[in-house]
Structure 1
Amino acid sequence: MQMEQQLAQIKQVVEDVLALAKQKGVSHAEASMSKVQGIAVSTRLKEVETVEFTNDGGLGITVYNGQRKGSASTADLSKAALALTVEKACEIAKYTSEDPFAGPADESLMAYDFPDLDLYHPIELDTQLGIQQAIRAEEAALQVDPRITNSDGASYNANIGMKVYGNSHGFIGGYPSSRYSLSCVVIGEQDGDMQRDYAYTLNRKANLLAAPEQVGIEAAEFTLGRLGARKVKTCKAPVIFHREIASGLLGHFVSAISGGSLFRNSSFLLDRLGTQVLPNWFEIQEKPHILSGLASSPFDNEGVKTQDMEIVSQGMLNHYLLTSYSARKMKMENNGHAGGIHNWLVKHTGQSDDQLLTEMGTGLLVTELMGQGVNIVTGDYSRGAAGYWVENGKIQYPVHEITIAGNLKDMLMNIAAVGAVAETRGSIQTGSILVSEMQIAGE
């Protein structure tokens, strides 16, 4: 009941602010408000390092004076502060340039009726529980092997909150959500070589987090696997992006098909809608309404109803990712992507992780990427990497201090397989991705 009351209160604040804007004679207005409570606990070597409690709330309003736009925000939710915030937004809108594409999303696209996606699973924000979870993870990690010599800490986070969005179309929608996580980072040493790695668990339901001991053991095992890392000789070879980082590769694809990049002519996939950009078996579905999904959302940041979409089918790009502004700029239809994507499911080709290594034969399994050497305009890709060298389908030794390079256009078209075991802790759910050839720079 408390949650329902809070949600009703926040909706009322948003409604009041929109009414204030209307009194000022603006053409349109939109407002959003969030309220989040959370705890963040970190330990190092089983000693408590930090305990933080957050209780944040804030409201942002955007008004449109014809085609002029003004925005303002406040963390002070008193009536006087809200009135001042509206006034400031209106004042700003008097002086901004006219923009023919400005304005809220079309009224016909609003999510006036939307489903409960089971995103809210509150528990008591218990710092003692957080401390225990973090210490248990570290303890388990430090006991795995004498070569695990130090800890870089463990962290427990719990956040429960709600967000509400409303606009002058009469739409006001909001929903609560929760998110919990536990992570652990440890350091290993062998013959003077020091390495670190981490493991984590993340869920909307606290009782579905992996056991702290499992997180700690995984962190230790990942770290041990990296000891004795060396460089490889510069060569061209196939590369597997491990599922934990494969979503990052597809994240560049997200950037390239986002309206903001496209209308600025700053994407390597310009004018590629309806053409083949991936192998003819490749498919990406967007499913915004998965119950308890980490990237599920009944509507986007502009109140537009989200819907299932076939982003890529048979390698063909079916949709750009558009907001109201980018859609108007490009003379296309807004498809509800203000704020990002919602649960991308990447179709796999059936191989287990071992079968993927066998299929690659000799090449590089990448488990970590470093640096920002990605140019979305040209598609040029060059990043520092670490992982494992593979020969005859078997991992031979860990590698580090290397660079992998290529062009994203070619890399996407040269995807040879997607593993059957998917990474589910993010907005892009994909298995490991095998790219048939990349340039590897080492010794």
Structure 2
Amino acid sequence: MNKPDPRADRGFSYSRAYFEELVDKALTHARKLGATDAGAEASEGCGLSVSVRKGELENVERNRDKSLGVTVYVGQRRGNASTSDFSDAAIEQTVQAAFDIARFTAEDPVAGLPDADDIAGPDDQPELDLFHPWDIDSERATAIALACEAAALKTSRKITNSEGAGVSAQQSHFFSAHTRGFRGGYASSRHSLSVAPIAGRGDHMQRDAWYSSMRCADELAAPEAVGRYAAERALSRLNARKISTRECPVLFESPLAAGLLGAYVQATSGGALYRRSTFLLDSLGKDVLASHIDVTEDPHVRRGKGSSPFDEEGVRTHARKVVDAGRVEGYFLSSYSARKLGMKTTGNAGGSHNLVLSSRSTQPQDDLREMLRKLGTGLFVIELMGQGVNYVTGDYSRGASGFWVENGEIAYPVQEITIAGNLRHMFAGISAVGADTYTYGAKTVGSVLIDRMTVAGN
């Protein structure tokens, strides 16, 4: 059971017990007004962010915010309102506002709270170890950021400038409940360290960046390691060339491959499906990705960045296989989108949870060097620009930078090119996935090799 964490009040202005009282007041007032159903959530977030540049402190920011959100149903009419004022009068006014909005909103036949059999009860809420507050002050955060940037600048004399380094320590907690019986909440944390060095001079400068982000600060990469790796990435891009337009295989570096997985999630999410605005409409049970590809979702990974015992509606979450041997086994649905489609919620109100894309063909030795060998002659992409994805048609076109690879070896860096294709063909054309897995946000995937794309250059 997801019991209140005894550490959860550390660094916060409000306790879990106080949030429960706020939420119960809101629900009680909603019932008094005549609401058919209602839900409320009280939340608080706070943190410290520090940025430095060229050995000097630039910014120190402390953030603290709070909110009470209320959703009211009058029959099949829905209203929502929120406030940052936790006084009794403000709570009543907020509930009244949500109630009034609901009364004058058009009926929606599928509007409503989750069905009772989908709601996470007390025994459906595992403790996932998501809260690790970082006891750090601005002086210590500044020292870490400076060490990270200094390591980047010391890597080579060709590292001539910096866009700065930053340290962020963030934590939040919430409590949510609704009139269908759901009650739950938890505290969580997210800490990060980043740096962006610049190599070269004049018209030949190249920038790159790297970061480390974890729920627990003890698991962050060493600042010196982050700085050196970011510098090495920037140095590797010096003397980049343009290339002529051609068709060739394309290898996506693992952080960028997570973006391809994100595109798949977008295309199979409930909103896109019921609006019929996706190229993967009616894809359930059909072969969409290459036959050696699996995608799994596990919301209960301890300390996972996408972990949660329940979704934003209080629906229980569970591990599942989303793609099995290339075949679509499940969508990403909230209660609302599921009803629109005549289906059941998948516990994905608010998004996906800890996705892993893997290949049944991947071997332990398939590191990046081996993936370049599999690429043979083609393009290795390490940066994408723009948002050129049309989810209605699947057409994909992004600005890119990376390296031209010949006979499995990096030949030279390239820039100012565009890669283009169609996501349907790209998904089916995944020929290999590397063992060089990287977790970007809540998505874990190795480098991904697409058999053929158009590369537009000179």
TM interval, short-chain normalised:
over 0.9
Return the letter of the residue paired with 1:359. K
Describe the SS at the equivalent of 1:58: strand
CA offset at residue 170 of structure 1?
2.1
In the alignment, what sits opposite 1:139?
150
Describe the SS at the equivalent of 2:266: helix
Q: C-alpha distance in 2, partners of 1:383/1:77?
A: 46
Q: C-alpha distance in 2, partners of 1:179/1:217?
A: 23
Give the conservation status (yes or no) of the 8 Å contact 2:258–2:440.
Answer: no
CA offset at residue 180 of structure 1?
0.5
RMSD: 1.1
In the alignment, what sits opposite 2:205?
194
TM-score (norm 1): 0.98
Give the conservation status (yes or no) of the 8 Å contact 1:294–1:425.
Answer: no
Q: C-alpha distance in 1, partners of 2:417/2:203?
A: 20
Give the conservation status (yes or no) of the 8 Å contact 2:212–2:221.
Answer: yes
Q: C-alpha distance in 2, partners of 1:32/1:138?
A: 40
Describe the SS at the equivalent of 1:91: helix
Describe the SS at the equivalent of 2:278: coil
Describe the SS at the equivalent of 1:3: coil
In the alignment, what sits opposite 1:19?
28
In the alignment, what sits opposite 1:429?
444
The answer for unaligned runs of 5 or more in structure 2 is 1-5
Q: C-alpha distance in 2, partners of 1:311/1:33?
A: 32
Q: C-alpha distance in 1, partners of 2:143/2:202?
A: 33
In the alignment, what sits opposite 2:227?
216
In the alignment, what sits opposite 2:166?
155
1:75-224 matched pairs, under 5 angstroms? 75-112=84-121, 113=123, 114-189=125-200, 192-224=203-235
Per-residue displacement from partner, 1:152-207 (whole Å, max 9, x unpaired)? 01110001111222111121100111110000001111574011000100101101
- Match 2:376 to one of 356, 361, 367: 361
The answer for unaligned runs of 5 or more in structure 1 is none
CA offset at residue 98 of structure 1?
0.4
CA offset at residue 267 of structure 1?
0.4
CA offset at residue 137 of structure 1?
0.5
Q: Mean alpha-carbon deviation: is it higher for 180-189 or for 103-112?
A: 103-112
Return the letter of the residue paired with 2:197. V
Percent of aligned positions that are identical: 48
In the alignment, what sits opposite 1:33?
42
Aligned length: 443
In the alignment, what sits opposite 1:264?
275
Give the conservation status (yes or no) of the 8 Å contact 1:11–1:174.
Answer: no
Q: C-alpha distance in 2, partners of 1:86/1:2?
A: 31
Q: C-alpha distance in 2, partners of 1:294/1:366?
A: 25
CA offset at residue 123 of structure 1?
2.4
- Match 2:295 to one of 277, 280, 284: 284
CA offset at residue 70 of structure 1?
0.6
Return the letter of the residue paired with 2:185. G
Describe the SS at the equivalent of 2:314: coil
Say whether residues 1:417 and 2:432 are aligned partners.
Answer: yes
In the alignment, what sits opposite 2:328?
317
Q: Mean alpha-carbon deviation: is it higher for 120-129 or for 356-365?
A: 120-129
Q: C-alpha distance in 2, partners of 1:414/1:2?
A: 48
Q: C-alpha distance in 1, partners of 2:17/2:224?
A: 40
Describe the SS at the equivalent of 1:83: helix
In the alignment, what sits opposite 1:3?
8
Give the conservation status (yes or no) of the 8 Å contact 1:30–1:61.
Answer: yes
Q: C-alpha distance in 2, partners of 1:109/1:371?
A: 39
TM-score (norm 2): 0.95
Following TM superposition, the consecutive aligned residue runs of length 4 or more in structure 1 with deviations greater than 6 angstroms are none
